[in-house]
Amino acid sequence: MSIYTARPSADGTPLQWDVILKGTHWPKLDNTPPNDSRGIEAQAPALSDHHLYTNAPGGFVAGVSITVRVRVSWSMGTASGILRAFVYFGGVLQGQAGLGGLLMGPGSAATADIVIGTYTAAFTKAQADDLEIRLTTEDGVGWVPLTANVQVWEAYANVTHDVVQLVNLADAITVGDVLTASVVLEPPAWSKTLTAARDPLAGINVEERLATLTDPGRSVLVAERGKILTDPGRSVQLAEREKILVEEQPEDIPLTEN
């Protein structure tokens, strides 16, 4: 598992909160480091502000959860309110981050970084790239417009996801390991050709220190740490520390991009 931080990158619709110090909404929430003099403010319930968030990083395989956090303060007087966060993918509502939302008041609260809630579901990288979050105010008890307010100085989402599992070809292979599936290299644009030429030990230069060594449809037993991989009827030699995978082949075999 890995976690990355998604931040506001554009405004969506609606934009019903007021901008403190005026201007565009989303930059007031993308405060790094936090700036408690610029943000957005709501002085009534049933107001929503909707923002698009930054894309998922490379290596993202499958999303697990999205935790929405805000740097927030409020002054509710004798009333109370609720701040909710709703998760969207490409403009389509997926669900609320947490069931209860953030309860505000009565009274006042100094600025603090607080979790509104977590949205938990499986989602793809394409969906994560289209992440949108809507902040919505709701009446708790007695919130009369203009008599209380909430200010958000920063908003972001911690996205938990699975990643491509990488194996260090020189260091991470131990006797008895079985590797399966397909050859995966970072960055994704990498491609090479396995060439036999006149040498029976044809070579693939892995180039990166980390890579996933696998082959569809068969298991490769690691017979000796960092050196010889064996499979019935075939032999694969891994050059120690040089990241060279060599395999006896009668002709050139193109490696397609994964």
Q: How do residues 47-78 score in pLDDT, each as one tens digit?
A: 999 999 999 998 788 999 999 999 999 999 99
Structural domain includes residue 258 = no
In the sheet where 202-205 sits, what is the strand order? Answer: 178-179, 220-222, 228-231, 234-239, 244-247, 202-205
- Domain final residue pick, 163, 192, 217: 163
Structural domain range at position 208: 167-253
Tokens of 194: 């396995």
- Which of 242, 235, 30, 62 has its CA nearest to residue 133? 30
- In a shared domain, residues 219 and 143: no
- Which of 189, 155, 187 has its CA nearest to residue 39? 155
- In a shared domain, residues 26 and 111: yes
Residues in the chain where the model's pLDDT stays below 70: 164-258
> What is the reported pLDDT for 22?
84
- Domain final residue pick, 110, 142, 163: 163
- In a shared domain, residues 159 and 189: no
Cα separation, 97 vs 117, whole angstroms: 4
Q: Give the chain's domain count.
A: 2
Tokens of 197: 């030429």
- In a shared domain, residues 118 and 237: no
- In a shared domain, residues 87 and 157: yes
- The alpha-carbon radius of gyration of the chain (Å, integer) is 26
- Domain final residue pick, 138, 163, 188: 163
Q: For the chain, report the end-to-end CA distance as a whole number of angstroms.
A: 21
> What is the reported pLDDT for 111?
95
Q: Residue 51 in contact with residue 132, Cβ under 8 Å?
A: yes
> What is the reported pLDDT for 245?
40
